[in-house]
Amino acid sequence: MKTPSRRKFIASAAGLAAVTTLSPATAMVAEEKVIAHQVYFWLKNPASSEDRAQLIRGLKTLQKIESVRKLLIGVVAATDKRPVVDDSWGVSALTLFSDIAGEAAYQVHPIHLAFVKDYSHLWSKVVVYDSSEV
Amino acid sequence: MKTPSRRKFIASAAGLAAVTTLSPATAMVAEEKVIAHQVYFWLKNPASSEDRAQLIRGLKTLQKIESVRKLLIGVVAATDKRPVVDDSWGVSALTLFSDIAGEAAYQVHPIHLAFVKDYSHLWSKVVVYDSSEV
């Protein structure tokens, strides 16, 4: 019994070693080029923390869309305000995709369409920047 | 000779297995909240691919700043152009930090100051969005 069990373990371990040496998950993520879809929302009621929380809750639903590799939701950071810093917005959402097709699928996905339908009354303006990693 | 070698390999493999099961690097990164410093550059000569490549080379030097956790340099992606999409810029740089102190250290770092000194002649406008992940 011992020998096959150990052999199996060694084979499995060798597989892990190969993965670790040749392509750790972090290195794979870092090396794959992404499409970044960055959205800034200006709230209709910028003073309403409830509206802001509601929009953030809505944005979190987008995480379930299959082509979303990473979703990073933010608010204005307390960094030093140089003149070039735009801090007039209320909520940001950075979504990473593996490719243009993933971003296109996201745009027409039922979860995304439901998000726009259910939460767009909260914002007065949206600006989108879509970038392709070089 | 064979036994210690195999034992060593098994111990090493067990270590790998534990790392893989309990705390993959990717999961750790995903759970830590970040400060995202997103910069969009408008080139003085938008038609010059050489200027664009030069700015990208300059931005890559920022990777060496100790507090930079991730640097994602991009150009306008070929996504569907809805009216909310701003595609008038030339190069984007998304930098992630662990905290506000990391972003502040980056701003005054000699490598960042040298980048501004050596490459700012290439751009006509910069817009910065600093966000704090929620």
Q: Are B93 and B39 in contact (CB under 8 A)?
A: yes
Put simply, the answer to whether A72 touches B34 (Cβ < 8 Å) is yes
Q: How many other C-beta atoms can be found within 10 angstroms of the C-beta atom of residue B56?
A: 18
Q: What is the mean pLDDT of residues B18-32?
A: 46
Q: Environment class of residue B131 by beta-carbon count within 10 Å: exposed (0-12), middle (13-18) or buried (19+)?
A: buried
**Whole-number Å distance between alpha carbons of B88 and A104:** 20
The secondary structure element, H or E, covering residue B92 is strand B91-97
Nearest chain B alpha carbon to A57 = B134
Cα diameter, chain B? 70
Q: What is the mean pLDDT of chain A?
A: 85
Tokens representing residue B45 in the block: 């000569």
Q: Are B81 and B96 in contact (CB under 8 A)?
A: no
Q: What is the mean pLDDT of residues A23-35?
A: 61
Lowest mean pLDDT among A25-29, A90-94, B92-96: A25-29
Q: What is the mean pLDDT of chain B?
A: 85
pTM beyond 0.80: no
Tokens representing residue B118 in the block: 């050596």
Kindly list the residues from chain B whose CB atom is less than 8 angstroms away from the CB atom of residue A126: 84
Least Cα separation, residue A28 to chain B (angstroms):
10
What pLDDT is attached to residue B32? 84
Decide if pLDDT at B111 tops 90: yes
The secondary structure element, H or E, covering residue B116 is helix B110-119
The percent of residues in chain B predicted with pLDDT above 90, rounded, is: 74
Q: How many other C-beta atoms can be found within 10 angstroms of the C-beta atom of residue B76?
A: 19
Least Cα separation, residue B86 to chain A (angstroms):
6
Nearest chain B alpha carbon to A13 = B13
Lowest mean pLDDT among A52-56, A101-105, A111-115, B13-17: B13-17
Model confidence pLDDT, tens digit, residues A91-132:
999 999 999 999 999 999 999 999 999 999 999 999 999 999
Q: Please report which confidence band the pLDDT of residue B22 belongs to, taking 50, 70 and 90 as the band edges.
A: very low
Q: Which of A21, A129, A132, A133 to mutate to test the interface with B (most CBs of B within 10 A)?
A: A129
Model confidence pLDDT, tens digit, residues B57-82:
999 999 999 999 999 999 999 999 89
The secondary structure element, H or E, covering residue B130 is strand B123-133
